Amino acid sequence: MNRWEAEREAFRKLAGAARAPVAIVGAGLSAESGVPTFRGPGGLWRSHRPEELATPGAFQRDPRLVWEWYNWRRGRVAQATPNPAHRWLAAYERQVPSFLLITQNVDGLHGLAGSRNLVEFHGNLWVVRCTRCGREREDRSVPVPVPPRCPDCGGLCRPGVVWFGEAIPRDALARSIAAVQACDLLLVLGTSAVVHPVAGLPDLAPEAPLVEINPASTPLTPRARLSVRAPVGEFLAPLLADGTEENG
């Protein structure tokens, strides 16, 4: 018997029956694409201090240092491609059009895999925002000339991501809350589920069955209907062949 076959069968049933599923995903989803996670072995927050790199105060103090770190991350992400987990999520959306994917990842790999019904809860690494006029633009250069200036007003630009201590953009939050409140299945994939407000979203759907796929346990594990201790790409890869599976 293949590894996780029983869990895959249970997963297939839950995913196939759902009419309004939502997935909440984190850095672990891109781990198999070679993008480092934040916590856990090899995690970025093991060797970097978040308050020196990912807060508005850090950017005010030293925009160059913050941009250099983002340039390093851009370099890593530029070499990464979607893995089977990204591809399965994009295929699931084609199968169940109401499916909403809420990602904490800023790497843009879901878009590359074809996901469209997507909330990038913490923004996107390839977006640059002017701190003076607020204008956002896509900039895929690696590295970005540091620190970048706004082509419209000359203001200092920052990464278009959400830092610690900042609010989640109103639309992203409202869309996520509405979808979770109405969902009939919650997939929680590759996230440590400790960073709020994302970590609190499952509380809005106490009745929805929750499926977790993560090699480690998380605060949501006790509530999970199905908890699979597996790398999510490896777990979902065989399900990609189910493309013709009927929903419901």
Does the protein bind ligand OAD through residue 190 (CB under 6 A)? yes
Q: Does 53 bind ligand OAD (CB under 6 A)?
A: no
The reply on whether position 39 binds ligand OAD by CB under 6 A is: yes
Minimum distance from CB of 88 to ligand OAD (Å)?
12
Catalytic site positions: 122
Nearer to ligand OAD, 21 or 190 (CB): 190
DSSP string, the chain: --TTHHHHHHHHHHHHH-SSEEEEE-THHHHTTT---SSSTT-HHHHS-HHHHSSHHHHHH-HHHHHHHHHHHHHHHHT----HHHHHHHHHHHHSTT-EEEE---S-HHHHHT--SEEETTEEEEEEEETTT--EEE---SSPPSSPB-TTT-PBEEEEEPPTTPPPPHHHHHHHHHHHHT-SEEEEES----STTGGGGGGG-TTS-EEEE-SS--TTGGG-SEEE-S-HHHHHGGGGGGTTPPP-
Work out whether 218 is an interface residue with ligand OAD (CB under 6 A): yes
Position among 11, 110, 231, 239 found at the interface with ligand OAD (CB under 6 A): 231
Beta carbon nearer to ligand OAD, 179 or 227: 227
The reply to whether 214 sits near ligand OAD by the rule CB under 6 A is yes
38 binds ligand OAD (CB under 6 A): yes
Q: Is the dihedral of CA 188, 189, 192, 195 positive or negative?
A: negative
| Residue 68 or 184 with smaller CB distance to ligand OAD | 68
Residue nearest ligand OAD by beta-carbon distance: 28
Q: Interaction with ligand OAD in 112-171: which residues (CB under 6 A)?
A: 122, 162-164
Is position 8 an interface residue for ligand OAD (rule: CB under 6 A)? no
Residues at the interface with ligand OAD (CB under 6 A): 26-28, 31-32, 37-40, 43, 54, 104, 122, 162-164, 190-192, 195, 213-216, 218, 231-232
